[in-house]
Amino acid sequence: MVASGGSLEEKGLAVEEIGGRARGAGARLGRVLARTARRCGRGLIVVAEGTTLTALGPILDRHAHFSQEVIAIRYRAHHYTDEGERRRTLEDDVRRGLTGRPKSLPPKYFYDITGSKLFEDITEQPEYYLTRTERTLLGAIAPDLMREIGPRDLVELGAGSALKTRLLLDARRDRPVRYMPIDVDESMMQMAASRLLADYPLLSVEAIVGDFEHHLHHVPAPLGRRLVLFLGSTIGNLDPLPRRNLLTRVRALLAPEDRFLVGLDLVKDVAVLEAAYDDASGVTREFNRNILAVVNRELDGNFMPEAFAHVAFYNEAASRVEMHLVPDAPQEIHVGGLSMTVRVAARENIWTESCYKFTRSSAEPMLEEAGLRLAAWHVDPDQYFALALAAPA
């Protein structure tokens, strides 16, 4: 049963909101929900914010072979950047990056729909040990962790597909939990939320569409104990100063009994590190080049992504893997949205990502500088990856 107009409350139906501003995103979400509903054999009523309802209604109608039971989906999205602000930030970042020395582009722009999908593919590459190692570790510690902390709120920075988050939710199925993912990619968050809501009846989701470096103070007031998650080694994408600033803001989210769980990739054999960022199937190469496609689309650029080689190497002095895009031949690129022409010389690099690697002795002071103390350090037997549990100092 799908209601696409009028007040649902008037009809006596307990319905909450499905968020999502963009019609396209709403329509995709509609299809995911419809599939989920068919799989569960139960009906859905979906109410979207504003105009999205109109986009969702017909899609769900087509799939509405179900009509009896209503699942009230608890999803709300908070948007803290309007389109104008998002665009200004993008323009400033790209202008600054492409006129800097060396040239660079901030890694958050990898993650449009294509980039998020490519990242999911990267996590399945045999060379990319990070995700599977972190998943195994998290699975092992989740029951004790969730019992000891007993969080009412799970806040997750850079949540992406939230697949690993399920391991924590599985360990707290019997209690209401509010999940608050923060990510720049709204479409991935919506998809993840719709799947989670179908699978965890006591879950509610308040998604924060925004930048975790700028919008953490918008995390809604706590309902109880908080566990803040920062998985996937995403913290390693931040240089030391912005990393310290971010950790300080994370610290501000924590009351004495709250905890912060962060996934850290560890320093290890260089060949293992470099292979993880240059898989044989070329998925990471496509992910890296996708940032040029994002600039082309968003800012009317004419980069030829295939003219740029993907280069990834470990910079030992800085403890980081660096990803660059490097053309063989000189490139002249016009970025119409910035009224700018960019010249990239042959073999000149555009630096797209840093992935810092840690040790326990580098992680502890990093946390301390932000007012956090290391409460537990979980590593896999190969010492490839660590989950660090931190508490307010």
* Site of interaction with ligand SAM (CB under 6 A): 108, 111, 116, 119, 131, 158-160, 164, 182-185, 211-213, 231-232, 234
* Nearer to ligand SAM among residue 185 and residue 278 (C-beta): 185
* Nearer to ligand SAM among residue 291 and residue 335 (C-beta): 291
* Nearer to ligand SAM among residue 190 and residue 331 (C-beta): 190
CB of 95 to ligand SAM, least distance (A): 18
Give residues with Cβ within 8 angstroms of 214, minimum separation 6: 80
CB of 97 to ligand SAM, least distance (A): 14
CB of 109 to ligand SAM, least distance (A): 9
* Nearer to ligand SAM among residue 111 and residue 179 (C-beta): 111
* Nearer to ligand SAM among residue 294 and residue 311 (C-beta): 294
Closest CA to 312 of 331, 333, 289, 338: 289
CB of 10 to ligand SAM, least distance (A): 38
CB of 207 to ligand SAM, least distance (A): 11
* Nearer to ligand SAM among residue 43 and residue 97 (C-beta): 97
Q: How far apart are CA 22 and CA 338, in angstroms?
A: 25
Closest CA to 186 of 280, 310, 261, 78: 78
* Nearer to ligand SAM among residue 212 and residue 303 (C-beta): 212
Q: Packing angle between helix 113-122 and helix 186-199, nearest 10 degrees?
A: 60
- Asked if 151 and 172 count as a contact pair (C-beta separation under 8 A), the reply is yes
Chain centroid offset of residue 73 CA: 22
CB of 275 to ligand SAM, least distance (A): 17
* Nearer to ligand SAM among residue 46 and residue 110 (C-beta): 110
CB of 309 to ligand SAM, least distance (A): 22
* Nearer to ligand SAM among residue 108 and residue 178 (C-beta): 108
Residue nearest to ligand SAM (CB): 232
CB of 379 to ligand SAM, least distance (A): 17
CB of 128 to ligand SAM, least distance (A): 10
